[in-house]
Structure 1
């Protein structure tokens, strides 16, 4: 059983090259996890709609409003109706947008499923990408269901319309099963994919070479502003670079960091510089975490 699980995770493992030129591994979310996250979100959206509707109905009854009211009371009831329509619209359309545009890139359903949305180019998840992938959800899921439901409810000669709606729905539902990355159409157009979320705790510190434990820290000292440039995501990327110990990658990453913080180092000092930055960045992030401040990545 464990071998099969490991094999499935290996099939979903991909490598992403960040804008800093660092190759990072990650695991695509399984189709089951994505389906579970969507069902959880739809349940929460439905529950929020029901609670809001009941709350507004209770408010209307509490102040004695009814459909036969005229004058100011009638206007107040119309105002509540407008508020209800606005709330339903926001729950229906803004739920996914608001949560996926947050620092975690995930809705409550995705958080419970342990997955998140990420940009396929390794950059920051943009507003345009989130809007695009969620607008396509209407075309993929809600519109064919509404079309199918309307055709079935109207009766009569609607067999062709019902089959068309069912085929439309089936086409988009099957899309994640016919591409190796499990992308839905919204992901393809928006340049996103859904990946397993990283743990919120920092991993154990990288075991640096004995000679490097004290020397780099003594040679290079960085201020708070220089350490504030990066976050936990970049710390883990830097850890991988140090672990792989490839000269070309070390030079590229050192040059990138130097460009960000306004430093310059010699050709022979790339690894000592990066080791010092790694040690001090980790200490800086852990200090912030003790005071309830987290910096997930350089964009936070």
Structure 2
């Protein structure tokens, strides 16, 4: 799939994000303050989980004895490493592409090239957090537990963490080093309902009826982008996408309501793809082969 065109629009944090299909998903880059607040929420929740794990481990050591409980403490350290990584990776690889902290602050992760966010990008951006933040913190905690901290070690650890943490303040797209390497942005999503709520009736169900051939024109990737368009509710953007879909599926009737048309097509496409999944068929995007027995569109 070809790369998208990315350009700057009006506003310091407003960006045009044009997908390979020509859909302009105008987005607003998340502010540094919102991202810091989201990270604080996530770290707070993780801290509560860490405390629970440590308390369980302490009770286990008391029950088993210190000598027999040593492997348990090693297991706790491994569990905490996996927990903090799968927390960020698991949530951001999901449909909402956001941790609980990001969701609370109205943020989500997107791919800068306009394509669908993939797991490799999520893993890359979050493993970099180990180097950016958790490595110096872990180093400091180990030195502290070992009996005293050398002043240079403290200075180096704090400087390391600040260097990477403040990196997003010195680039216009508010990217961490992880975002830079993974090709991602963190954008504002607003307060609109997400995901499954978009399939709720927002249109006259009898006005727009699509054939299976017309619904077979797109796949999961386009469904995700259409969801973004409906969530952002930008009128000009919705008309650009409507024109693209009308041309691709050969829709002959006049469309006077872009949001109603897109809502109807979103609901129809989602149902179509879910039915295909029941038979073990998943169409990744419009370039993927159509299901057996389905005609090709465009």
CA distance in 2: counterparts of 1:83 and 1:225, whole angstroms? 53
Match of 1:100 in 2: 92
Deviation digits for residues 253-274 of structure 1 (CA, Å, limit 9, x no counterpart): 445x44xxxxxx39xx496599
Contact 2:107 2:186 in 1 (8 A): yes
Distance 1:236 1:271, change over 3 A: farther
SS in 1 for 2:26: strand
Instruction: Sort the Cα spacing of 1:176 and 1:115 in 2 relative to 1 into closer, same or farther, 3 A.
Output: same
Contact 1:242 1:271 in 2 (8 A): no
Distance 2:58 2:152 in 1: 40
Q: Helix, strand or coil for the counterpart of 2:179?
A: helix
Unmatched segments (≥5 aa) in structure 2: 1-9, 273-282, 286-298
**TM-score in terms of structure 1 length:** 0.66
Distance 1:236 1:270, change over 3 A: farther
Determine helix, strand or coil for the equivalent of 1:106: coil
Map 1:60-139 onto structure 2 (within 5 A). 64-67=63-66, 74=68, 77=69, 80-81=72-73, 83-139=75-131
Kindly indicate whether residue 210 of structure 2 is the aligned counterpart of residue 221 of structure 1: yes
1:1-300 equivalences under 5 Å are 10-58=11-59, 64-67=63-66, 74=68, 77=69, 80-81=72-73, 83-147=75-139, 158-198=150-190, 199-200=192-193, 201-202=197-198, 217=208, 221-223=210-212, 226=215, 229=219, 231=223, 233-234=225-226, 237=229, 252-255=244-247, 257-258=248-249, 265=250, 269=252, 278=262, 280-282=264-266, 284=268
Instruction: Confirm or deny: 8 A CA contact 2:29 2:186 kept in the other structure.
Output: yes
Shift of 1:107: 0.9
Distance 1:48 1:148, change over 3 A: closer
Residue 33 of structure 1 deviates from its aligned partner by 1.0
Segments of 5+ residues of structure 1 without an aligned counterpart are 1-8, 69-73, 208-212, 259-264, 289-297
Q: How high is the TM-score relative to the length of structure 2?
A: 0.67
CA apart distance, 1:244 = 7.0
User: What is the Cα deviation at residue 166 of structure 1?
Assistant: 3.3
Q: Is the 8 A contact 2:136 2:161 kept in 1?
A: yes
Cα distance change, pair 175–284 in 1 and its aligned pair in 2 (3 A): same
SS in 2 for 1:278: helix
Q: Distance in 2 between matches of 1:59 and 1:282?
A: 52
Q: For the structure 1 residues 271 and 234, does the alpha-carbon distance in structure 2 shift closer, same or farther, using more than 3 Å as the test?
A: farther
Q: What is the number of equivalent residue pairs in this alignment?
A: 254
User: Aligned partners of 1:159 and 1:32: how far apart in 2?
Assistant: 30
How large is the RMSD of aligned CA atoms in angstroms?
4.3
Superposition deviation, residue 146 in structure 1: 3.9
Structure 1 residues 215-274: Cα deviation after superposition (integer angstroms, max 9, x where no partner): x84xx632399278453741664886877756xx7665445x44xxxxxx39xx496599
